[in-house]
Amino acid sequence: MMAPFLKYGMFGDETSLVLAFLIGIGFGFFLERAGFGSARKLVSQFYLNDLAVFKVMFTAIVTAMLGVTYLGWIGWLDLSLVYLVPTYLVPQIAGGLILGAGFVIGGYCPGTSVAATATGRVDGLIYLVGIFAGMFAFAEMFPLLKGFYLSGAGEAMTIPGAFGLPYGVVVFAVVLMAVGGFYGAGLLEKKFATPVE
């Protein structure tokens, strides 16, 4: 048995959609349970008094990264078949800035706005309507934006590939970064904690 299962033909596209549904339920459930259906909780990370989002997301990144690394080393996962998003450096930096600005202003990212809507929060629903309006506007303006959207190499760029570092070293560095980040986040939370009256 070898992963990725879909690439090795263990199931077809239809079954993969059913699995995506189940994984989506799990993702949404834990997102909401972690408190990420609340805009107040989410924007607290920008005021540095509650960095739960940073900690949870970095934990998820490190867990997934270590899982993928170990499975690859054991030989259960063919890393060359794992899909990587093509890199368009400048447009993706612009996209990241726009998403970040939207996150600070609106209080949600796309995934958490869905979690918020599912729990009946009106602000999450309005945010979601905004997302769809933005996607519609982008699609309509795509002929104008296409040149910028596709500018850059368009190849999947990885940190080990770009810097010529061994894969294991990058993994270790990210783990160290996470440990340091968690320690630093704890200090920041203490410093910027809202005083209890």
Partner 1 sequence: MTPELFITRHNHLIDPFLHVWSWQIPVYLFLGGWVAGNMILTGYFMLGGRHTRRSPLLSALPGLSLVLLSLGMLALFLDLEHKRYVWRLYTTFQWASPMSWGSWILLLVYPVLLLTWMVRPPVILEDLSQGVERITTTLQGRRDIVRTIGITSMVLGVALGVYTGVLLSSLVARPLWNSGILGVLFVASGVSAAAAFGHLVTHSPDERALTVRIDNVVLASELGILGLFVLGLLAGSAQQVEAARLLLGGPFTALFWVFVVGLGIVIPLIIQLLAVRHWIQHTPIAPIMVMAGGLALRWVLVLAGQVSRWEPGTLRIH
State in angstroms the smallest separation of the CB of 115 from partner 1.
14
Which residues contact partner 1 (rule: CB under 8 A)?
A: 11-12, 14-15, 17-18, 21-22, 25
State in angstroms the smallest separation of the CB of 114 from partner 1.
14
Residue 167 contacts residue 160 (beta carbons within 8 Å)? yes
Of 9 and 143, which has the nearer Cβ to partner 1?
9
State in angstroms the smallest separation of the CB of 111 from partner 1.
19
Of 9 and 147, which has the nearer Cβ to partner 1?
9
Of 11 and 148, which has the nearer Cβ to partner 1?
11
What percent of the chain is helix, strand and coil (3-state, nearest 5)?
70, 0, 30
Of 51 and 114, which has the nearer Cβ to partner 1?
114
State in angstroms the smallest separation of the CB of 96 from partner 1.
31
State in angstroms the smallest separation of the CB of 41 from partner 1.
20
End-to-end CA distance of the chain: 58
Of 27 and 149, which has the nearer Cβ to partner 1?
27
Q: How many residues comprise the chain?
A: 197
Residue 153 contacts residue 10 (beta carbons within 8 Å)? no
Ordered DSSP codes for 84-127: -PPP-HHHHHHHHHHHHHHHHHHS--HHHHHHHHHTT-HHHHHH
Using CA atoms, how far residue 111 sits from 25, 47, 127, in Å, is: 12, 21, 11
